[in-house]
Amino acid sequence: KSHKHHARYPKSLPWFPVIGSLLHLGSHLPPHIHFCNLQKKYGNLYSFQMGSRYVVIVNNHQHAKEVLLKKGKTFGGRPRTVTSDILTRNGKDIAFGDYSSSWKFHRKLVHSALSMFGEGTIAIEKIISREAASLCQTLISFQNNPLDMAPELTRAVTNVVCSLCFNTRYSRGNPEFQTMLEYSKGIVDTVAKDSLVDIFPWLQIFPNKDLSLLRNSVAKRDELLEKKMKEHKEAFCGETIKDLTDALLKAKLSTENNNSNIPQEVGLTEDHLLMTIGDIFGAGVETTSTVLKWAVAYLLHYPEAQVKIQEELDAKVGFERYPLLSDRRNLHYLEATIAEVLRIRPVSPLLIPHVALEESSIGEYTIQKDARVVINLWSLHHDADEWVNPEDFNPDRFLDKNGNRIYSPSPSYMPFGAGIRVCLGEALAKMEIFLFLSWILQRFTLEVPEGDQLPNLEGKFGVVLQVNPFKVIAKLRNVWKNIEIAA
């Protein structure tokens, strides 16, 4: 710090007073692609001013790893934004909450609760398989009719997190599930887009369509979360822990009775518990269902990949039983396809913005305290120095010449982030994606309905990279015509 006069700062986009670099960011392209293209002119680490905020964009894996791993704690903060404050009651959750003892504590709590109910237990495999069976039944009932799989995939995934969080599930057509679909769409369409309100907080005083949609959607979500919480409190006896909500309630009771070594200041308030569950529920549903939709869209574009997955399923799993998590180590082509989907269409192409908690550096550049650091995962996953023809969908890049899985063909791959802010649901998401896809493809061949176009692969940028709706025909494969499906 004594060398401040030697400090070098990342190259900055042209600056305009008041509106910052907004004009230069105004592009018809979605931000992750625009930020990727700006590298040609400004290099792979550059900055801009947006209103009063100083933003740094990171576009390569060396810098990304420095930020997330080597200096993870220094860059472990989160910005407060108008939209995420509405969603999380001013950052009382894990994903949008700033670095603090309370954040650390909730992260740990959820991590251990998830491993207790989810990862590594037979229970979770049973839960996912039950939903996979139910999904396959729905596909059967739509034989030869074009179906929008999105709500079906979403319900399957919702029921898995519902089981983990609340020990419940929804049947087809459940009105509460419909409400959830609706409010969640409202949130995904509006939250954390770094829309104008996030840059200019004073725009809040003007009527703003997005903002009121967000407020209404969040109110509906909170009503649902509060109802679940109330039911759990009433049924809670402190002995049997059935789900994540019980686990959180138990931790809260322990602090209140002072019979644990949980420090008081970690803030196990009702708000914190609700927002934590909101995160797991929201992240659990929106991310995993998005990956499944992308996978289906790509399989329609690449029927040869679908055939390869089915040949592998037929050879390694056969027709006498259902796919199991233990099949993961044998189904290399399916695993490679999933890895490739996560590469080519990362769910979270800009991660969640990080914030420098103190002055630091990235490479040879000084980064000032409070700078927002955005990791452009899209640039990492489409870096032509790291990937052969990065725009091509090619699962083989994750396989060696004997068809065995290569776990990391390039260091420029991190669909779940890395370091202290790494995704909490990675293991759960991977189990779900694997089981749902293997169940579906073991029984069905997915086809584009006659006369329909192939799904659009461009994606719609938001808090997750969304897929445009499309329809599918899920044709029962001949071998399965006379076999019953039961979990």
Pick out the residues of the known binding site for heme: 423
Binding mask 206-235 for ligand PLO (x = CB under 6 A): ---------------x--------------
- Angstrom distance (rounded) from CA 314 to CA 480: 12
Distance CA 272, CA 267 (A): 7
Determine if 283 is a binding residue for ligand HEM (CB under 6 A).
Answer: yes
Interactions with ligand PLO, residue window 171-210 (CB under 6 A): 184, 187-188, 191
Q: Which one of residues 225, 248, 347, 362 is an interface residue with ligand HEM (CB under 6 A)?
A: 347
Part in contact with ligand PLO (CB under 6 A); list of ranges 315-323, 347-355, 357-365, 383-391: 347-355
Distances (CA, A) of 446 to 15, 31, 143, 146, 457: 50, 32, 11, 10, 16
341 binds ligand PLO (CB under 6 A): no
Q: Which does 464 bind (CB under 5 to 8 A by kind): ligand HEM, ligand PLO, none?
A: ligand PLO
Q: What 3-state DSSP class applies to 466?
A: strand
Q: Applying CB under 6 A, does 279 fall inside the site for ligand PLO?
A: yes
Q: Which of ligand PLO, ligand HEM, none sits in contact with 288, Cβ below 5 to 8 A by type?
A: ligand HEM
Give the amino acid at 238. Answer: G
Q: Please answer whether residues 224 and 180 qualify as being in contact, where contact means their C-beta atoms are separated by less than 8 angstroms.
A: yes
CA-closest candidate to residue 165, choices 99, 231, 216, 262:
231
Which range, of 42-50, 244-252, 264-272, 344-352, touches ligand HEM by CB under 6 A? 344-352
Beta strands in 247-386 (DSSP E): 354-355, 360-362, 365-367, 372-375
Residue closer to ligand PLO, measured from CB, 323 or 353? 353
DSSP H or E segment with residue 446 = strand 444-447
Between 200 and 279, name the residue whose CB sits nearer to ligand HEM.
279
Member of 59, 81, 276, 287 binding ligand PLO (CB under 6 A): 287
State in angstroms the smallest separation of the CB of 392 from ligand HEM.
21
The single-letter code of the amino acid at 210 is: D
Residue appearing with tokens 């708000």: 271
Copy the structure tokens of residue 124: 């979770």
**SS3 of residue 53 by DSSP:** strand
Smallest separation (angstroms) from ligand PLO to the CB of 228: 14
DSSP for residue 469: P
Tokens, residue 382: 């489409």
Partner residues linked to 53 by β-bridges: 50
Sites of contact with ligand PLO (CB under 6 A): 95, 184, 187-188, 191, 221, 278-279, 282-283, 286-287, 347-348, 352, 463-464
Residues of the shown chain interacting with ligand HEM in the complex, contacts defined by CB under 6 A: 94-95, 107, 279-280, 283-284, 287-288, 291, 347-348, 351-352, 415-417, 421, 423-425, 428-429
